[in-house]
């Protein structure tokens, strides 16, 4: 069915916001590889976590255009929609790191709430002016963190779980989710919302848990683990996430939400131990061996959610998607990528990053 869809579908013109970030750039690679006849417009502000090197090998293609710009810039959004005759918006652009939202929530409200509102308003007016084509889509990429925290025995988050965000980051994403839902309910805008679990894979900025551990192991630095390390996350390989987003854009019902999970619940401390084992296997000349001795427990993050878990039954039942990677296979691919791409991550360890790192992990 999917292969037939690829062969028979009409070419699309897609605007991908945040397309130089972690998940967004992986999605750009996925879409360009899968649909080489589509027009792809990438919009990214190139803040600290946006990196044009993430699009290496794609820029220069006739069907891809990169634009550096802010999603809060309404005239720019209007111009791109009209100039490029966009029929799909895939909205990834967001401030996404919980620790940074605790230190400075302002940017999260501006980008995640005001930015999403700006895009929705621009797309609504553009869609209306185009006589409301049925095939247009506005796909908003969100997070499972909007649901709050689970106890050890609580059922996994479903699409009907009440929102209970606990950080400035998750609250700002919840606000943007509500706006998207309201624009479908009030204006009939053909929206889609997906709420995913923790992603990992290539092009992940070094501040996030998995790349942080890989890089610190390579450098012989402490591996900071919050609290008692018993916090649980459902880990989703970014390639699986991209294939799920592709499926939802093509086969999801407008106005619906879909949870995307990896079926991989792992305690943080167990994940770090898995990474230590993989690094020792794949990088034999580490500065510290065994690298497990680098694990250092640090003061817990304020308001740290204890457990996330995703029930993706709706996605499987309605659309037929399931993840291809296990946490073991996905982590192996990820570790190999960071080992093979040190020229990508080394320049990111800037003085600004080092100052942020010191501020967050004060007890390391």
What residues are labeled active site? 144-145, 169
What angle separates helix 327-340 from helix 209-219, to the nearest 10 degrees?
50
CB-based contact 102:132 (threshold 8 Å): no
Q: Which candidate, 214, 229, 202, 216, places its Cα nearest to that of 281?
A: 214
Q: Classify residue 337 as left (phi > 0), alpha (psi -120 to 50) or beta.
A: alpha
Q: Which candidate, 73, 12, 33, places its Cα nearest to that of 239?
A: 33
Q: Which residues, including other chains, have CB under 8 Å from residue 170's CB and lie 6 or more apart?
A: 98, 143, 145, 146, 148
Pairwise CA distance, residues 246 & 250, whole Å: 6
DSSP letter at 211?
H
Pairwise CA distance, residues 247 & 237, whole Å: 16
Q: What φ, ψ does residue 253 adopt, rounded to 5°?
A: -90, 125
In this structure, are strands 137-143 and 232-237 parallel, antiparallel, or unpaired? unpaired
* Helices and strands (H and E) in the chain: how many: 14, 12
């Amino acid at each position: 069915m999917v292969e037939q869809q690829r062969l028979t579908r009409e070419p699309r013109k897609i605007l991908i916001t945040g397309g130089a970030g972690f998940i967004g750039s992986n999605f750009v690679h996925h879409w360009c590889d899968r649909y080489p006849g589509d027009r792809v417009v990438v919009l990214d502000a190139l803040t600290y976590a946006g990196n044009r090197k993430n699009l290496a090998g794609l820029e220069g293609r006739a069907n891809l255009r990169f634009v550096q710009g802010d999603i809060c810039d309404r005239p720019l959004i209007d111009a791109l929609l009209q100039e490029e005759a966009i029929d799909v918006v895939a909205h990834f652009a967001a401030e996404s790191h919980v620790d940074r939202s605790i230190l400075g929530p302002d940017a999260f409200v501006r980008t995640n709430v005001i930015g999403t509102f700006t895009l929705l308003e621009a797309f609504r007016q553009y869609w209306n002016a185009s006589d409301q084509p049925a095939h247009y889509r506005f796909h908003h990429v969100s997070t499972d963190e909007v649901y709050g925290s689970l106890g050890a025995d609580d059922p996994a988050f479903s699409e009907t779980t009440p929102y209970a965000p606990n950080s400035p980051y998750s609250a700002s994403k919840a606000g943007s989710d509500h706006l998207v839902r309201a624009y479908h309910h009030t204006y009939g805008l053909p929206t889609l919302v997906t709420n995913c679990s923790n992603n990992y894979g290539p092009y992940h900025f070094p501040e996030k848990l998995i790349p942080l551990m890989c890089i610190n192991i390579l450098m012989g630095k402490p591996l900071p683990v919050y609290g008692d390390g018993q916090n649980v996350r459902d880990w989703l390989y970014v390639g699986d996430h991209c294939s799920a987003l592709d499926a939802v854009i093509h086969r999801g019902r407008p106005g619906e939400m879909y949870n995307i999970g990896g079926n991989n619940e792992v305690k943080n401390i167990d994940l770090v131990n898995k990474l230590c084992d993989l690094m020792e296997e794949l990088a034999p000349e580490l500065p510290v061996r065994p690298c497990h001795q680098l694990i250092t427990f640090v003061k817990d993050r304020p308001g740290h959610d204890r457990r996330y878990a995703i029930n993706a039954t709706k996605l499987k039942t309605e659309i037929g998607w399931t993840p291809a990677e296990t946490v073991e296979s996905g982590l192996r691919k990820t570790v190999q990528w960071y080992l093979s791409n040190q020229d990508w991550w080394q320049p990111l360890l800037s003085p600004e990053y080092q100052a942020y790192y010191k501020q967050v992990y004060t007890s390391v």
